[in-house]
Structure 1
């Protein structure tokens, strides 16, 4: 009598190791590998404009992931992420100007930003809630003022010139070449964050987020892990800022204001707190939002709505209003973010037709 093997209808994991795998299924791993390969071929077929959007998604996605490690995985808050992003850009430009090779300068800028993040993280790790938000807000204004006054480091209000990215004498500037630089950093740092969450330290961060009193009773050092979260978040922000500086070729204090920090918060709220993939989803959404806003304003040009709202002149303000409206709508209708919706879609098709 022939026997047939029955496949269980559901997602059953019978061991702790199976629950901590990097990829849920072999198919998801193949999709990720295929995605990276497709991205590697993107400069061969995409225009410079589309590549610039992908590059922007890359370095902003790295910074957003760093903030998500702090906010989403360890349960803390930061309203000053933009200045750590800016510090990484200024540090890398400063090091490159003094003879450090640009690839090494980017990594050292991330480590330098980590030290600065720890300086603010040590005292901030002893407070929580509203007090922590005020502490990080203080970091925002302190470093922003430092950028204006430290002309030896940042060039002051004039800004700093960042050297082009070269490796082994090969110039990697330009959208089609620099895309690969950002892609390498993006893949390495996202894999690093995913593996961190599978480790003992990652589980400790999640325990501190879920119930810090229980975590402390189990022997988790709250101060250590809260401070570590600040350091990791700052490292990611510093790397992202350095990648931005060498892509643009210039770093300025303009734009590193609190609104930029709020945009980083919007990325992880929209994408999904406590989700590595959610950081990417939120970044894609926020990068494409201005493009869609501009396209909408162009489509409405000359209409009664355009005459009433002056869309062409107030496109910046319209974008800011949309960011606020999108955050509110996501908090009401999709509080777990786009990553949660994506998991629901995958679960639906995985269990179809028994997806109820």
Structure 2
């Protein structure tokens, strides 16, 4: 019975995409992303941009929760820091007379660094608590950061409850002032983030994260510093969410505090559970399900009941019910998520037409 892939060299063993079906799937996604801005309509571009931004954020959460085993319900705060940070840094760069064409090369890393620093601070409780207690601590941090953004004393910088008007990024003179142009940036960043994080777990740092997830006391006995690597995991995770926030600021004309409240954190967690924690493609599959399910539901209900006010009122709570059912269903019947289902499909394809077991 065929039960694996023959790997005769170290190079073959190090490949991320280790069979032709996975290779075709990954390149199919890349071709689809390249095709969308040319031929897709505005609605498809809007949904695709939302998917790309969410993928970057869920990849960040996957670093912390999926690979390091630290639960967080406050990652929306890091997305907010990235969104507000990149906007404020653009204004600062303009005041310093930095050319617009190179400003994103300073503002995006700056927003990610700011989110990483806040992530280090938020991650300090992880040294003493874990599990649900750590989740509550990060949730409290989310509330604190949103409160600070809405604070009247900081309103001259954050805009308070009315939010901030964002800027259109310019890359070497190419102003990204349409959704299609911003989608190209989002798609490139999403692919790069997934690839870089996947390769992170081939390094000593990534393996230390996994050791902490499996048994932190044993990892410490083996010489892994819990202080260093837990805080590093928080910083990397927050930086990825900061990048998602920066992309969100470029995509939307205005950022508002309510965009980054508890609902966003729950959506990130739901996407990770549905997709599969601790797996490379888990965030991708999870985001596709979480983002596309409400859109599919909207299309179905519109076809059945039309675009009436009653249908819209019925659709809103139904979307929340679907989120809950998805999470419960995957926890009960497939706790490893969509990635495990795809693995079974790829294994079956790889064995075909031989062993079927």
Q: TM-score, normalised by structure 1?
A: 0.91
1:227-255 deviation per Cα after TM superposition (whole angstroms, max 9, x unaligned) = 11111110010000110111112111013
Q: 1:244: which partner in 2?
A: 248
Which aligned pairs between 1:64-75 and structure 2 lie closer than 5 A?
Answer: 64-75=58-69
Q: 1:222 to 1:104 in 2, by over 3 A?
A: same
Q: 1:140: which partner in 2?
A: 142
Q: Which runs of 5+ in 1 are unaligned?
A: 1-6
* 8 Å Cα contact 2:21-2:350 kept in structure 1: no
* 8 Å Cα contact 1:85-1:241 kept in structure 2: yes
Q: 2:238: which partner in 1?
A: 234
Q: 1:321: which partner in 2?
A: 321
Q: 1:95 to 1:16 in 2, by over 3 A?
A: same
1:239-276 deviation per Cα after TM superposition (whole angstroms, max 9, x unaligned) = 00110111112111013211211111000000001012
- Using the alignment, how far apart are the partners of 2:11 and 2:228 within structure 1? 26
Q: More deviation in 63-72 or 91-100?
A: 91-100
Q: 2:298: which partner in 1?
A: 294
* 8 Å Cα contact 2:57-2:241 kept in structure 1: yes
Q: 2:46: which partner in 1?
A: 52
Return the match for 2:36 from 42, 45, 48. 42
**What secondary structure is seen at the aligned counterpart in 2 of 1:355?**
coil
**Does 1:173 find its partner at 2:167?**
no
Q: 1:16 to 1:138 in 2, by over 3 A?
A: farther
Q: 1:3: which partner in 2?
A: none
1:138-160 deviation per Cα after TM superposition (whole angstroms, max 9, x unaligned) = 11111110110121331101101
**What secondary structure is seen at the aligned counterpart in 2 of 1:24?**
coil
**What secondary structure is seen at the aligned counterpart in 2 of 1:164?**
coil
Q: How big is the shift at 1:9? A: 5.9
Return the match for 1:21 from 6, 10, 15. 15
Q: 1:4: which partner in 2?
A: none
Q: 1:99 to 1:270 in 2, by over 3 A?
A: same
Return the match for 1:98 from 85, 88, 92. 92
Count of residues paired in the alignment:
345
Q: TM-score, normalised by structure 2?
A: 0.90
- Using the alignment, how far apart are the partners of 2:45 and 2:218 within structure 1? 47
Q: How big is the shift at 1:18? A: 5.0
* 8 Å Cα contact 2:22-2:346 kept in structure 1: no
* 8 Å Cα contact 2:71-2:131 kept in structure 1: yes
Q: How big is the shift at 1:345? A: 0.3
